[in-house]
């Protein structure tokens, strides 16, 4: 199978590894190629003849890269987004951006609990390939599944994308808990309440409830909230320790997706009049100079009540 990979970051490399394991032929496009024997900055050359195109770029670059691919995209190529965020200006999901720009009606998304570094190393992973076109999802499943990389299919594109995006904001809250040294019990409680919030909001936004309980929802939430390999959690940790936002962001390699997502989600919540205490406290910490300890206190101080 001929595979085009757009982006030479962590996920671009991980997909290249997976492709090699299944002996697919690969072409990697990068704005700034690091290794000219494997990578090109010629998009037309990269896409020529490709059967699958992976968009391994950050959410904020998706529209621009998709626009640039338009005149080169082979007609039958499957388009797969790997980005876990939403477009800031429009609040659109990545698959919506891809469809809008390319006119392809059934783009795919690969998501779920997986660090690119672990995928590259061959550690076992289980992920979800989502598309409204189930046969397209099955083609990706068949082409990229290996002993250590299990792909489940799901037709609920909206649920998979909202899960992947919202969990990054919850992960910032989890990091704040860690930075404030509140202990592991508090972190587990936060993840549990975060999961309920993500499910409730994600369902209103068009996802199916059961998707949020799956790999791309709770699974990815657990991974992102529990591991200091996550940039989103590390951002929260720094804020919890009292660092300023610019300083905290500077300390990370690359901007975590949750930073922008928190702002877009805040807009959506406001427009729709939805309540989401954790997402809102994260927004206040990031953009309204709220003290992390004060935010946590308010989350804890609500009236005692039945669990459901």
Chain contacts with its own copies (rule: CB under 8 A): 112-115, 118-119, 121, 123-126, 128, 134, 141-142, 145, 147-148, 150-154, 182-189, 191-193, 195-196, 210-211, 213-215, 218-220, 222-223, 226-227, 229, 296, 300-301, 304-308
Nearer to its own copies, 3 or 215 (CB): 215
Closest Cα partner for 86 from 270, 266, 228, 218? 266
Distance CA 19, CA 15 (A): 6
Shortest reach from residue 257's CB to its own copies, in Å = 17
Min dist CB 221 to its own copies, Å, is 9
Q: Based on CB atoms, which residue is closest to its own copies, 103 or 304?
A: 304
Distance, in Å, from the CA atom of 271 to the CA atom of 263, rounded to the nearest integer, reads: 13
Bridge partner residues of 93 (DSSP) = 86
Taking the least distance from each CB to its own copies, the nearer of 37 and 185 is 185
How far is 23 from 44, CA to CA, in rounded Å? 22
Q: Please, which residue, 68 or 188, has the CB nearer to its own copies?
A: 188
Contact 155/72 with Cβ under 8 angstroms? no
Q: Which is nearer to its own copies, 186 or 245 (CB)?
A: 186
| CB count in 10 Å sphere of residue 33 | 15
Rounded Cα distance between 72 and 33, Å, is 19
Q: State yes or no: is 270 an active-site residue.
A: no
> What is the smallest separation between the CB atom of 271 and its own copies, expressed in angstroms?
28
Ramachandran region of residue 157, left (φ > 0), alpha (ψ -120 to 50) or beta? alpha
Minimum separation from the CB atom of position 228 to its own copies (A): 10
- 69, 43 contact by CB (below 8 A): yes
Residue 146, helix vs strand vs coil: strand
Q: CA angle at residue 174 from 170 to 178, to 5 degrees?
A: 165
| CB 213, min distance to its own copies, A | 7
Which of these is catalytic: 167, 253, 290, 305?
167
Active site residues: 167
């Amino acid at each position: 199978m001929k595979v085009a990979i757009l982006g030479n970051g962590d996920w671009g490399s991980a997909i290249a590894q997976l492709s090699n394991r299944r002996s697919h032929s690969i072409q990697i496009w990068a704005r700034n190629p690091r290794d000219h024997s494997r990578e090109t900055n010629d998009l037309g050359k990269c896409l020529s003849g490709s059967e699958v195109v992976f968009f391994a770029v950050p959410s904020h670059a998706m529209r621009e890269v998709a626009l640039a691919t338009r005149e080169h995209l082979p007609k039958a190529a499957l388009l797969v987004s790997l980005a876990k965020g939403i477009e800031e200006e429009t609040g659109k999901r990545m698959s919506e951006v891809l469809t809008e720009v390319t006119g392809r009606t059934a783009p795919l998304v690969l998501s779920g609990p997986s660090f690119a570094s672990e995928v590259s190393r061959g550690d076992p992973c289980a992920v979800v390939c989502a598309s409204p076109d189930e046969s397209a999802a099955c083609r990706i499943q068949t082409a990229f599944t290996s002993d250590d990389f299990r792909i489940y299919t799901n037709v609920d594109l909206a649920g998979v994308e909202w899960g992947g995006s919202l969990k990054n904001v919850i992960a910032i809250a989890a990091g704040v808990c860690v930075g404030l040294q509140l202990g592991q019990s508090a972190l587990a409680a936060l993840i549990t309440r975060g999961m309920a919030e993500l499910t409730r909001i994600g369902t209103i936004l068009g996802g199916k409830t059961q998707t949020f309980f799956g790999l791309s929802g709770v699974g990815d939430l657990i991974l992102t909230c529990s591991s200091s390999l996550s940039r989103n959690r590390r951002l929260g940790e720094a804020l919890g320790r009292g660092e300023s936002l610019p300083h905290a962001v500077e300390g990370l390699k690359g901007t975590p997706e949750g930073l922008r997502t928190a702002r877009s989600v805040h807009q959506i919540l406001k427009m729709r009049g939805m309540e989401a205490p954790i997402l809102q406290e994260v927004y206040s910490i990031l953009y309204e100079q709220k003290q992390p300890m004060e935010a946590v206190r308010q989350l804890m101080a609500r009236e005692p009540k039945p669990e459901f």
